Amino acid sequence: MTDRLPRMTPGCMNPAQRRVYDHILASRQTTGLSPFPLCRTDGSLTGPFNVMAVAPVVGAPLSALGAALRSDTSLSPRAREFAILTVAAWLGSEYEWESHSAVARSIGVSEAELSGIRGGSGPRVSDEHEAAVVGVVRAVLERADLSDTEYEDAVSTLGCETLVELVVLVGYYELLGRLLTTFRANSSGDS
């Protein structure tokens, strides 16, 4: 499938689109989370980033939220990537899976843990915090809710602030998955 939206190259962008483009590139450079290509050889952004550049009124806040979720939350890098990859596997989002499995590998997530997430059983982790993150993400994806017991356990392990950040992260990556599917933007390459 080919992209439904035009590929936004720097030379064809209006000033608002260019600000989104520049913000996306800058936010990835400062966090160091770019073990996958953000730009094609023509300079257009890959995946959901091109979608954000097309519509800067919503793309700019989405880009800012994504940057905050990647670098400013209380989630550990491993827990964050477990959450993102669980959403990607749930939605069948190949772009997010490929992109974030590369990020996960770069921070030491094992192939066995990745296989567990992709297969739906989740990673086998002994860290209580990481296990709670995966449990919350799966419950939110499966039922769009937490039972009272799950909620109390999550607050006890993660704290209220981290739980809010985690639920927002799930919603953000669900939204990206929908953008990728609707606009056929799942390609990370030059095809």
Cα 121 → chain centroid: 20
pLDDT in tens, 5-55: 999 999 999 999 999 999 999 887 755 555 677 888 999 999 899 999 999
Answer left, alpha or beta for residue 181, where phi above 0 means left and psi between -120 and 50 means alpha: alpha
pLDDT in tens, 88-128: 999 999 999 999 999 999 999 999 999 999 998 888 888 99
Answer left, alpha or beta for residue 119, where phi above 0 means left and psi between -120 and 50 means alpha: alpha
Indicate the pTM of the whole model: 0.91
Residue 113 backbone dihedrals phi, psi, to 5 degrees:
-65, -40
Delimiting residues of CATH 1.20.1290.10 domain(s) in the chain: 77-180
Homologous superfamily (CATH) for 77-180: AhpD-like (1.20.1290.10)
Q: Are 191 and 3 in contact, with CB atoms under 8 Å apart? A: no
